[in-house]
């Protein structure tokens, strides 16, 4: 098979030769996680093509934090994505 296809937000183990039957695994990049139920592997098929590669990775989602004795400085959201910054304000006292 030719070099395997790129997958958005994922990296592939490095190899130089892709014989029929070769199975490779993708891994999600930092800030992304594997979509549940989706296989991160592809296989070089008998017809020298790769098995289909679905969308594999999704942004890591974080729930809104509990803030005892404070609040968010900006309007509160239900959740946040990896790397997103949130500013907090403390209650008086």
Report the 10 Å Cβ neighbour count for 78.
7
Give the whole-angstrom CA distance, residue 84 versus residue 33: 16
What are 87's strand-pairing partners?
A: none
pLDDT by residue (tens digit) across 13-54? 777 889 999 999 999 999 999 999 999 999 999 999 999 888
Task: Look at the chain and count its residues.
Answer: 93
What integer pLDDT is reported at residue 64 of this predicted model?
Answer: 82
Bridge-partner residues for 51, per DSSP?
none
Position 10 scores a pLDDT of 94
Asked if residue 16 and residue 48 are part of one domain, the reply reads yes
The residue segments making up the domain with residue 83 are 61-90
For residue 33, the tally of other CB atoms under 10 A from its CB is 15
pLDDT tens, 7-16? 999 998 777 8
25 shares its domain with 43: yes
Looking at the structure, do residues 14 and 53 belong to the same domain, yes or no? yes
pLDDT at position 81 over 90:
no
Which strands, in side-by-side order, build the sheet including 10-12?
10-12, 23-28, 41-43
- 1 within a domain of the structure (yes/no): no
Same domain, yes or no: 22 and 52: yes
CB 41 within 8 Å of CB 21 = no
Residue 53 counted as domain residue: yes
User: Are 67 and 51 in a shared domain?
Assistant: no
Residue 2, domain member (yes or no) = no
């Amino acid at each position: 098979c030719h070099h395997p296809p790129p997958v958005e937000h994922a990296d592939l183990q490095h190899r130089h030769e892709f014989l029929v039957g070769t199975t490779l695994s993708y891994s999600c990049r930092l800030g992304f996680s594997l979509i549940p139920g989706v296989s991160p592997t592809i296989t070089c098929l008998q017809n020298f093509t790769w098995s289909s590669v679905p969308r594999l990775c999704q942004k890591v989602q974080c729930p809104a934090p509990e803030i005892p004795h404070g609040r968010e400085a900006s309007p509160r959201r239900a959740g946040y994505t990896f790397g997103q910054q949130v500013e907090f304000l403390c209650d008086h006292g």
